[in-house]
Amino acid sequence: MNFHLCAVTLDEASVVTRSPAIEQEREVAILDLLDANSFRLEGSDGGPYELKLGIEEGRLVFDIRRAGAPHGRVALAMAPMRAVIRDYWTVCENFYKAIRTATPQHVESLDAGRRALHDEGAHALRSRLEGKIETDFDTARRLFTLICVLQLRL
């Protein structure tokens, strides 16, 4: 069987109004995920899987379906990831502002910091999912982007 995602959505009840830049981040992350990903629910005989990410009672919820039918559900406390999410969005805000006015060196520095925090978030997510959901690094990185969108409070 295939161990990959064939559909990804965000629980819109969990999401606040997003700016165009954030909406673009969400769209790109989903398109990249659907283009190439590795996703395996522990104990499952395979997919392809449909994933709906949401926040319920302060927990990140992976609602996993197969052919529209419930297949699994994983809930994680958000507290361990909040600091890296907050830092990631702070650097992103500064990066987007700097693009308009800062020197190329400053923009490159902020972009390097943004990528490093993104990688840190992906590693943290993979660690939190251990024993529940197995992903490759690129899939975890894109999922981290979507988790950040869910946590964004404007």
* Residue pLDDT, tens place only, 5-17: 999 999 877 556 6
Q: For the residues 50-76, what does the mean pLDDT come to?
A: 93
Cβ-count burial of 16 within 10 angstroms (0-12 exposed, 13-18 middle, 19+ buried)? exposed
For residue 63, the cross-strand partners are: 52, 73
pLDDT confidence band for 152 (50 / 70 / 90):
low
Count how many domains the chain has: 1
Q: Looking at residue 4, what DSSP letter applies? A: S
- Taking all residues of the chain, what is their mean pLDDT, rounded to a whole number? 88
77 has which bridge partners? 59
* DSSP-derived secondary structure letter, 78: S
Q: What is the pLDDT of residue 88?
A: 87
On whether the CB atoms of residues 133 and 37 are closer than 8 A, the answer is no
| Average pLDDT of span 68-93 | 89
Residue 91 has pLDDT above 50, yes or no: yes
Cα→Cα distances 21→18, 81, 96, Å: 8, 22, 9
Q: What residues make up the domain containing 77?
A: 5-151
pTM: 0.88
The more confidently predicted of residues 21 and 149 is 149
Angle, helix 79-101 to helix 137-151, in steps of 10 degrees: 90
